[in-house]
Structure 1
Amino acid sequence: MARHWSAPLLLNVLLGIPGVVPIWLLWYLAANWPLAGLGLTVREPTETDGALGWVLITVPVVGLYGLLWWSANRPLARRTALGSRAYWLLSVLTTFVPTIVLIITTWERN
């Protein structure tokens, strides 16, 4: 099974479920501080505590998730028949599937 493309697809969709948390943390940090200054997003008006607290939470969470994601994918990348670029592209894109599904299913329709 490890030689087929379905193994990394399944692995990364499953890793994407807990990956919703670090993806959301990165989005929240970017939306309320650096990107808000560029006018790309609207800053939360009640967020006046500064970015340090969020950075202290985001860096360890994203770091641990990235380490888990990499350590799960690295051995599998060597055993699949996919090329290196195809494997890593598939892995990154399928990791975002649970987040995208969550966004779509909770979108408010007016």
Structure 2
Amino acid sequence: MRRLLVVNVLLGIPGIIYYWMLSLMVLRDPMTTWGRTVRDLYETHSILPVQVVLGPPLAIGTIIWVLSNVNLVYRRKRAGSCQKASGKFWHWFIALVASLIPTAVFLCIAAFF
């Protein structure tokens, strides 16, 4: 369990950048423009450039996070800790929460300054 927490907290540190960039994308584009059915892909306020910039790093980070947690589930399953399906559910839940810890700490520190 300790390995699970340490690995996911360390993987959550670069996640701070992803959460920050995603929040900038959401806050920059007004929510009222999301209801449009047709978008001009060459418009300067389009969401396409943000997807081009954020897509590959976010995909690579997600793939690394998933593969490292699949490896941890496999190790726990061999050790007998993760035999039931509920054990796997708690593993993924704890992994997600542990990867959000660095972002929460960063936001708490940023709230004071």
Superposition TM-score tier, normalisation by shorter sequence? 0.7 to 0.9
Aligned residue number for residue 48 of structure 2: 52
Describe the SS at the equivalent of 1:96.
Answer: helix
Give 1:84 deviation, angstroms: 0.5
Alpha-carbon distance in structure 1 between the residues aligned to 2:6 and 2:22: 24
Does residue 1:37 correspond to 2:32, yes or no?
Answer: yes
Residues 1-110 of structure 1: pairs in structure 2 closer than 5 A: 5-33=1-29, 36-37=31-32, 49-50=44-45, 51-80=47-76, 81-82=81-82, 83-108=87-112
> What does residue 43 of structure 1 align with?
none
TM-score by length of 2: 0.74
Unaligned 5+ segments in structure 1 are 39-47
Structure with greater proportional helix content: 2
Count residues with an aligned counterpart.
95
Q: Percent identity?
A: 23
Equivalent AA in structure 1 for residue 105 of structure 2: V
Structure 1: distance between partners of 2:56 and 2:92? 23
- 1:5-30 deviations in whole A, cap 9, x for unaligned? 11111100000011111122222222
RMSD, aligned CA? 2.0
Letter in 2 for 1:105: I
TM-score of the superposition, structure 1-length normalised?
Answer: 0.76
- Give how far 1:108 is off: 4.3
SS in 2 for 1:107: helix
Structure 2 Cα separation of the partners of residues 108 and 90 of structure 1: 27
Q: Structure 2 unaligned runs (5+)?
A: 34-42
